[in-house]
């Protein structure tokens, strides 16, 4: 027999973990819905042509799970993000009302080298607004993701903001250099440090003054305080971008979280305007969300341009941090009621009793292993339950049952049918 | 530009549809959890070796989405059902407490020829109990799935029950013929009819008497009334199987739904004991659930045997039927509050007001297109909202807002901050 394995970089989610995941997803969904982003879903697979040319070279050659389906002889790819599938959906539905807002919480697949906190299959939670060119749409994305973090209790975040147009203007118009490689280098600041970035920029042909200009911008300032930076950035861009940043600032609901960060690039090729990234600052810091405006992507699929903006909350990182901080507990499954069968002849009564509890909305469990009352009690001691209910010969005759409330340490003898009503009121969820 | 398509047999779920899907999934999850089956998940991909040899030849050669990953040069398969991944999980976790019960509601992929109601990517909702050989475990699976159908309002179902051991005993021991092809033929009864089955059985080498025996069993009898059938089936099997069916009957909670059906085979190779299928009887009938005992599957992966039983509810079919019957409605997204901006200078106030509503748990929306008040009102008329709130110059000065309750046709002028509290009480969900 071949050795059985779980695929490398993939994970099982046993019940304790899965409960926590579902709870977080549910909370995030509610915040998104309240902000007018109802749920949507798209297929896990797309034709390769749909994804090709959207994410940049590294993603295309190394990170996308791409394969030829031998049964149809077509090239498929597993969903790499939720944005391109949305663009494909929009392209196929010209009848759609604009602005189109939706959220999508779905799996994506990336062929990353697995490491702590990085998986080959993970959940993203995205919101996007299609059809509005206005800064309100960008601000609403940031406000909504911020509100989700606030409600999850992750309040130590900052929102780093930049503008792809500004980055391109400075590098291409002012320096006269094609910006793609430069942007990719700046994007590595967190990984290789300032000196590393400077060395790579030199290799890319930037002169000392240009490198000095860029590295003197590696400071964070409040978003409504960017005007002074344009002495460095280039005063010719001040009017355009300062007003954009100020306008965005005025629309942000959690204003003290927002900073301008010139080193923020965002990896993906498709961004065109405001870009943002949200990082946690306490404990092990790191990015939990990001996004931006992508006014050309839908046009690549639809044939005519349609503006759009969106953001993605990294549910996996959020869950990891919440577990680390004790905000969610991975605890054994809880039962409202556990029925202990004391005599074989009482089993049918106990069995029906459990079904009646479940019918009344109570999580109820009974032994499926024909264990002795002692062994059932032993198992009970390892479980997280509220009521233990004992049913045996005596209960069969008297039509009464004994309830034991573990949390209150209270014992109660009660008529069988009455006990159902009693437990329903006590336990229904 | 290449023509953009959604992959054949795959579906997008726009918000109206997706809301309904999530509601059904949530209801089913609750019933499963109450019966002591907490949620779990496994990867979408498994190594090919894990799935190979588990489902039968047709699945392996035609239906499983199998591919070679060019980046790792390994063979992968998209999850074909939720049972084999569970078995793989159990095989890798010998420390697990038995019985292990879990539910899983996840996507599976099958390379079927797409047709109405049949897709290449769809959701299954499974419950399984690993570690119990007892009929209680089988009965609990059937009871739990039945309870889910009851709560969804699909009460016109019957549960067809058979036993793989009985099928094999009759065909292999009594007729002296290998059973695989015979079972596959009997399984086609619904598709090709009784005459079709008879013809195919003849081709497989069964004699007239054997064919007569099998076809005279193509009747449904109540599950506690199978004894008389054993004059046909073979009296030597009566003792063993009648007691199994009677015992199962005694444990079923919705007894009047259960019938014995000798023609029930269930396609998959891995079943070994009790098998069942649940079909709806009104309108367009069809299978909505099925399952059975598979005591050898985990052993194939683990190296040592471990009994298990489970069942699967076809969420897609359930949703389709519920929509058909008007049990769920695909309706436009509803808003608690829609804020109409009457004057540009009031926009900042309106914007903040919307955020405050959302913070209070209210689904609130505001125009992102800088539309005129007339156009905002026009859009409002197409929406499913409860309160419209008008904010303009006057409201900015008086710090009062006008609320209009569409459902009650009621208008109310109210102080700004008071209005937040008022709406919170009226709308919070």
Chain A contact present for B143, CB below 8 A = yes
Q: Kindly determine whether residue A15 and residue B253, on different chains, have CB atoms separated by under 8 Å.
A: no
Chain B contact present for A21, CB below 8 A = yes
Q: Evaluate if residue A394 carries a pLDDT over 90.
A: yes
At B162, is the secondary structure helix, strand, or coil?
strand
Pick the residue of B358, B375, B382 with the most A CBs within 10 A to test the interface with A by mutation. B358
Work out the angle between the directed axes of helices B347-359 and B416-427 (0-180°, nearest 10). Answer: 40
**Region for B117 from its dihedrals, namely left if φ exceeds 0, alpha if ψ lies in -120 to 50, beta otherwise:** left
Q: Residue B86 in contact with residue B42, Cβ under 8 Å?
A: yes
Q: Rounded mean pLDDT of chain A?
A: 93
Residue in chain B closest to A335 (alpha carbons) equals B36
Q: How far is CA B319 from CA A234, A392, B288, B324, in A?
A: 58, 42, 10, 9
More confident residue, A232 or A418: A418
Residue in chain A closest to B357 (alpha carbons) equals A34
pLDDT at B123: 96
Query: Smallest CA–CA separation between B116 and chain A, in Å?
Result: 17
B301 CB neighbours in chain A (<8 A) are: 4
pLDDT at B124: 96
Nearest CB partner across the interface for A303, out of B1, B5, B50: B1
Q: Evaluate if residue A97 carries a pLDDT over 70.
A: yes
Pick the residue of A9, A32, A43, A131 with the most B CBs within 10 A to test the interface with B by mutation. A43
Instruction: Starting at the earlier edge strand, list the strands of the sheet with B157-163.
Output: B100-109, B121-130, B308-314, B286-293, B274-280, B157-163, B258-261, B220-222
Q: Are residues A381 and A402 in the same domain?
A: yes
Among residues of chain A, what percentage have pLDDT more than 90?
78
How many separate domains does chain A show? Answer: 2
Residue at which a domain ends, from A272, A292, A324: A324
Q: Kindly determine whether residue A40 and residue B147, on different chains, have CB atoms separated by under 8 Å.
A: no
Q: Are residues A303 and A351 in the same domain?
A: no
Distance of alpha carbon A211 from the chain centroid: 36
User: In chain A, which among 76-135 make CB contacts under 8 A with chain B?
Assistant: 76, 78, 88-89, 91-92, 98-99, 102, 107, 109, 111, 121, 129, 131-132, 134
Q: Are residues B293 and B176 in the same domain?
A: yes
pLDDT at A175: 85
Largest CA distance in chain B: 95
Q: Are residues A63 and A140 in the same domain?
A: yes
Q: Residue B282 in contact with residue B114, Cβ under 8 Å?
A: no
Nearest CB partner across the interface for B4, out of A71, A91, A358: A91
Query: pLDDT class for B330, splitting at 50, 70, 90?
Result: confident
**What mean pLDDT comes out for the span B159-168?**
94
Calpha distance B98→B130 (Å, rounded): 7
Residue in chain A closest to B350 (alpha carbons) equals A251
**What mean pLDDT comes out for the span B398-425?**
95
Q: Are residues A285 and A390 in the same domain?
A: no
Residue B405: inside a domain, yes or no?
yes
**What mean pLDDT comes out for the span B334-344?**
95
Q: Evaluate if residue B180 carries a pLDDT over 90.
A: no
**What mean pLDDT comes out for the span A203-227?**
90
Q: Kindly determine whether residue A36 and residue B335, on different chains, have CB atoms separated by under 8 Å.
A: yes
Q: Are residues B406 and B288 in the same domain?
A: no
More confident residue, A173 or B258: B258
Nearest CB partner across the interface for B19, out of A39, A72, A109: A39
More confident residue, B255 or A117: B255
Q: Are residues A390 and A320 in the same domain?
A: no
User: In chain B, which among 269-298 make CB contacts under 8 A with chain A?
Assistant: none
Q: Are residues B135 and B267 in the same domain?
A: yes
Residue listed under structure tokens 């009503």: A421
B352 CB neighbours in chain A (<8 A) are: 253
B132 CB neighbours in chain A (<8 A) are: 368-369
For residue A124 the two structure tokens come to 């993203």
**Region for A313 from its dihedrals, namely left if φ exceeds 0, alpha if ψ lies in -120 to 50, beta otherwise:** beta
Query: Smallest CA–CA separation between B137 and chain A, in Å?
Result: 6
* Predicted confidence (pLDDT) per residue in A289-299, tens digit: 999 999 999 99
Residue B399: inside a domain, yes or no?
yes
pLDDT at A117: 82
Q: Evaluate if residue A372 carries a pLDDT over 60.
A: yes
Residue A51: inside a domain, yes or no?
yes
Query: pLDDT class for A2, splitting at 50, 70, 90?
Result: low
Q: Evaluate if residue B238 carries a pLDDT over 60.
A: yes
pLDDT at B269: 77
| Weakest mean pLDDT among A349-353, B268-272, B276-280 | B268-272
Q: Are residues B193 and B229 in the same domain?
A: yes
Chain A contact present for B67, CB below 8 A = yes
Q: Kindly determine whether residue A69 and residue B67, on different chains, have CB atoms separated by under 8 Å.
A: yes
Calpha distance A44→A51 (Å, rounded): 12
Q: Are residues B293 and B355 in the same domain?
A: no
Q: Kindly determine whether residue B47 and residue A12, on different chains, have CB atoms separated by under 8 Å.
A: no
Calpha distance A24→A49 (Å, rounded): 34
Residue A329: inside a domain, yes or no?
no
| Weakest mean pLDDT among A16-20, A280-284, B9-13, B279-283 | A280-284
Q: Evaluate if residue A349 carries a pLDDT over 90.
A: yes
Residue B381: inside a domain, yes or no?
yes
* Predicted confidence (pLDDT) per residue in B75-116, tens digit: 999 999 999 999 999 999 999 999 999 999 999 999 999 988
Residue B215: inside a domain, yes or no?
yes
User: In chain B, which among 306-335 make CB contacts under 8 A with chain A?
Assistant: 333, 335
B33 CB neighbours in chain A (<8 A) are: 363
Residue in chain A closest to B17 (alpha carbons) equals A40
Q: Residue A62 in contact with residue B71, Cβ under 8 Å?
A: yes
pLDDT at B2: 59
Pick the residue of B34, B79, B88 with the most A CBs within 10 A to test the interface with A by mutation. B34
Q: Evaluate if residue A130 carries a pLDDT over 70.
A: yes
Q: Residue A148 in contact with residue A104, Cβ under 8 Å?
A: no
- CA dihedral of residues B54, B56, B57, B62 (deg, nearest 10): -80
- Which residues constitute the domain of residue A258? 15-324
Q: Are residues A291 and A410 in the same domain?
A: no
Q: Are residues A217 and A298 in the same domain?
A: yes
* Predicted confidence (pLDDT) per residue in A176-185, tens digit: 887 788 888 9
pLDDT at B80: 96
Residue B1: inside a domain, yes or no?
no
Query: pLDDT class for A40, splitting at 50, 70, 90?
Result: very high
Residue in chain A closest to B385 (alpha carbons) equals A36
pLDDT at A285: 67
What CATH number should be reported for the domain holding residue B261? 3.30.930.10
Query: Smallest CA–CA separation between B382 and chain A, in Å?
Result: 11
What CATH number should be reported for the domain holding residue B406? 3.40.50.800
Helix (H) or strand (E) holding B16, with range, is: helix B15-34
B43 CB neighbours in chain A (<8 A) are: 6-7, 10-12, 121
Nearest CB partner across the interface for B67, out of A42, A43, A68: A68
Calpha distance A349→A339 (Å, rounded): 11
Nearest CB partner across the interface for B363, out of A36, A111, A140: A36
Count CB pairs under 8 A between chains A and B: 221
pTM comes to 0.94
Residue at which a domain ends, from B282, B303, B324: B324
Residue at which a domain ends, from A324, A346, A366: A324
Q: Evaluate if residue B3 carries a pLDDT over 90.
A: no
Chain B contact present for A378, CB below 8 A = no
**What mean pLDDT comes out for the span B201-224?**
90
Query: Smallest CA–CA separation between B33 and chain A, in Å?
Result: 7
A358 CB neighbours in chain B (<8 A) are: 31, 34-35, 144, 147
Q: Kindly determine whether residue B40 and residue A12, on different chains, have CB atoms separated by under 8 Å.
A: yes
| Burial (CB count within 10 angstroms: exposed 0-12, middle 13-18, buried 19+), residue B227 | middle
**What mean pLDDT comes out for the span B160-174?**
90
pLDDT at B58: 86
ipTM for the complex shown = 0.93
Residue A275: inside a domain, yes or no?
yes
Query: pLDDT class for A429, splitting at 50, 70, 90?
Result: low
At B191, is the secondary structure helix, strand, or coil?
helix
pLDDT at B56: 85
More confident residue, B299 or B56: B299
* Predicted confidence (pLDDT) per residue in B370-406, tens digit: 999 999 999 999 889 999 999 999 999 999 999 999 9
Calpha distance B234→B223 (Å, rounded): 17
Query: pLDDT class for B429, splitting at 50, 70, 90?
Result: low
């Amino acid at each position: 027999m071949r050795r059985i394995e779980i695929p490398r970089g993939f994970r099982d989610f046993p019940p304790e973990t899965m409960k926590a995941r579902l709870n977080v997803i549910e909370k995030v969904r509610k915040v998104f819905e309240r902000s007018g982003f109802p749920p949507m879903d798209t297929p896990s697979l797309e034709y390769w042509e749909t994804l090709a040319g959207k994410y940049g070279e590294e993603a295309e050659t190394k990170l996308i799970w791409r394969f030829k389906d031998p049964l149809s002889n077509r090239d498929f790819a597993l969903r790499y993000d939720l944005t391109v599938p949305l663009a494909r959906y929009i392209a196929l539905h010209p009848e759609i009302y604009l602005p189109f807002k939706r959220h999508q919480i779905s799996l994506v697949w990336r062929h990353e080298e697995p490491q702590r906190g990085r998986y080959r299959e993970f959940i993203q939670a995205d919101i996007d607004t299609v059809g509005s060119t206005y800064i309100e749409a960008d601000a609403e994305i940031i406000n909504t993701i911020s509100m989700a973090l606030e409600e999850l209790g992750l309040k130590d975040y900052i929102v780093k903001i930049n503008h792809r147009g500004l980055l391109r203007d400075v590098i291409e118009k002012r320096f006269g250099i094609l910006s793609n490689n430069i942007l990719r280098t700046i994007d590595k600041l967190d990984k290789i440090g300032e000196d590393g970035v400077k060395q790579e920029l030199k290799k890319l042909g930037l002169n000392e003054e240009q490198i000095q200009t860029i590295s003197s911008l590696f400071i964070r300032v409040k978003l409504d305080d960017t005007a002074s930076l344009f002495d460095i950035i280039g005063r010719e861009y001040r009017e355009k971008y300062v007003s954009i940043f100020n306008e965005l600032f005025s629309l942000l609901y959690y204003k003290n979280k927002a900073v301008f960060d010139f080193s923020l690039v965002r990896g993906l090729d498709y961004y065109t305007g405001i870009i943002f990234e949200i990082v946690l600052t306490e404990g092990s810091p790191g990015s939990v969300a990001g996004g931006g405006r992508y006014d050309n992507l839908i046009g690549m699929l639809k044939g005519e341009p349609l503006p759009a903006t969106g953001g993605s909350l990294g549910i996996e990182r959020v869950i990891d941090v919440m577990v680390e901080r004790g905000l969610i507990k991975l605890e054994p499954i809880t039962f409202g009621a556990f029925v202990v069968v004391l005599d074989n002849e009482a089993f049918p009564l106990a069995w029906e009793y459990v079904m009646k509890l479940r019918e009344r909305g109570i999580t109820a469990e009974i032994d499926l292993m024909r264990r002795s009352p002692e062994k059932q009690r032993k198992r009970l001691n390892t479980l997280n339950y509220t009521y233990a209910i004992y049913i045996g010969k005596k209960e069969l005759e008297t039509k009464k049952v004994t309830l034991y409330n573990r949390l209150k340490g209270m014992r109660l003898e009660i008529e069988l049918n009455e006990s159902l009503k009693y437990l329903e009121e006590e336990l229904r969820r």
